[in-house]
Chain A
Amino acid sequence: MRRDPLRWLLISGVLVATAACATGEEWTTWKSHSTHFASGEHMFFSVRNREGNEAKVTRQDIALARDEAWWGKPITVGQEQILER
């Protein structure tokens, strides 16, 4: 019985670590797609668990997060340099 507190501490630690880190499946995806580099994950993470609700991300959440994270008008090639109407 003396070991019970230690065991629960270990179990709690594992649970916290699992919740805080990527799952095995997520890591598999990450490793399998090494050019993806967390595509969008940074942005999507910020829209999870709003107000304690079940973790869900809708397409509208993504659009909203994109607007909030907007870094300004990008320097990029204009479409008229590539295509004509």
Chain B
Amino acid sequence: MSGRLRGAALVLLAAATFPIAATLGAGAALAAPGEDRILPTDQYTSAKARRLAETHHGALRELNTAVYHCLPWVEVARQSIGFFKPRNAPQDDRYLSIRIYIEQDPSPQFATLRMEDRGSAMFSRYVGHLLRRMTRSPALAAETAVDGFTIILEWLKQTPRAGGRPIHETVAVFVPRVVASDYLAGRIPIGQVANGSKVFGWDGETALGELKLTAWDDNFATTFKVANYQMEPGVTCQ
């Protein structure tokens, strides 16, 4: 990763940060995102997953709502919020998961970075932030049946050619529960979360295998504001 990016992150460390929580007040129900972002309970293939989904459905809805309103430049993939099993896991490990598409203009500068560096930048920007959001519910944070967290980050690789389909790049981050707990309790920095997680990458549909990413603190998700963005009535991010 370039020193300039890391330097910018260090500058941001000194900036004021604040927790964000989306809350819906009375009359704001119509401003809520679609429920189709959450995997329906009857779609799970194990009793453990169904129990988790039923028990924590409210927390999943709050997560969906918070990302929708407070990170308006990202899009949550359909049926991507839920308690999924990492593919090919030997047992029924259930990870609280979310998949987001990060809206950004393609950039030659970004494209010249190595895939690991692009992935590291995205990891730094979103993984810590989303871990905090995904564990905002005390009941969910204390849920011992949750074995970890999956955060899938996806972005546009390049501007599509005329008539061509857009190609996305994707990283899937699997954070074991103990690693997430240590991070959320302030016992380890985000860099150690990257070291303690499994990360896999894709270029379009082509698997790139496991990636070794580095990570640093980046408070972009709490400080960036979409110009002229007006929150829906009754919704606040704090």
Residues of A participating in the B interface, judged by any CB pair closer than 8 Å: 26, 29, 31-45, 48, 55-60, 62, 66, 71-85
The contact string, 1 if C-beta is below 8 Å from chain A, for chain B 173-216, is 00000000000000000000000000010101101000000000
CB-CB under 8 A for A37 and B154, given A57-B227, A83-B87: no
At the interface, is chain B mostly helix, strand, loop or mixed?
A: mixed
Beyond A39-B104, A60-B31, A75-B165, 6 additional pairs, beta carbon < 8 A: A32-B12, A37-B109, A43-B103, A44-B226, A66-B75, A79-B79
Give the number of residues in B that approach A within 8 Å (Cβ atoms).
66
B107 and A37 within 8 A (CB): yes
Least CB distance from A84 to B in Å reads 4
CB-CB under 8 A for A71 and B165, given A37-B107, A43-B103: yes
Closest A-B pairs by Cβ, 8 of them:
A39-B104, A83-B84, A76-B168, A40-B73, A37-B107, A77-B202, A35-B121, A75-B204
Query: Is there a chain A Cβ closer than 8 Å to B37's Cβ?
Result: no
- Name the one of B49, B105, B232 contacting A37, with C-beta atoms under 8 angstroms: B105
Which residues of B, 1-15, contact A by the 8 Å Cβ criterion? 4-5, 8, 11-12
